[in-house]
Amino acid sequence: MTDKIDSIKGYWRGRPSVSVHEEGATASKAKGIPVQATTNQNDWGSSISAKSSEKHSNSTPWVSVTMPDDPALGGKTVACDVMLGVEYPEVTGSSNFQTVATKMNRNLTLQLASTPGAGGSYDGWWWEGTVLGMAVLLVCAQILVGMSRGLQRKANPPRLLSPNRPAPNAGQPA
């Protein structure tokens, strides 16, 4: 949602209602697409213990919409009308609160992926790429360690200079 709320400890709960239909279709002729919608469900009971810094916490309510796994929807643009009834505790006085109810609306246009489950595929590829990148990094680190040990074996032995002894002249053994 685009609106913010000011609640105690950021608590809020909501009742979402989502209507999805193909873009361009009039509301009366639009064939609704069945979706599932969920949102936050905090429960604060009849008393809340909060520090003074927690009495005015800004939150942006949200709604999660799950589209059906229908290949016929692949690549389509849909209109999504989201209505959310929000309840949240608001400070009244120094140690009291009241539950405030408000309604929020948002209209979105969504471009659906060409295949169902594309988000899950993206997540899988992201994790596979991350693990592969870490493996390449470890292999490269091992190569660098091996190369540095090879150079260490080829290096001349160190010479120790003491403040009591003068440094040897060039061409004379130490």
168, amino acid identity: P
pTM above 0.75, yes or no: no
Please state, in angstroms and rounded to a whole number, the distance separating the CA atoms of residues 30 and 138.
Answer: 55
Q: Output the pLDDT for position 81.
A: 94
Please check whether residues 78 and 135 belong to one and the same domain.
no
Q: With a cut of 70, which residues of the chain have pLDDT below it? A: 25-30, 165-174
Host domain of residue 38: 5-114
The residue from 62, 93, 114 where one domain ends is 114
Q: Output the pLDDT for position 30.
A: 60
Please check whether residues 66 and 51 belong to one and the same domain.
yes
If DSSP codes are grouped into helix, strand and coil, which group holds residue 26? coil
Q: Output the pLDDT for position 106.
A: 96
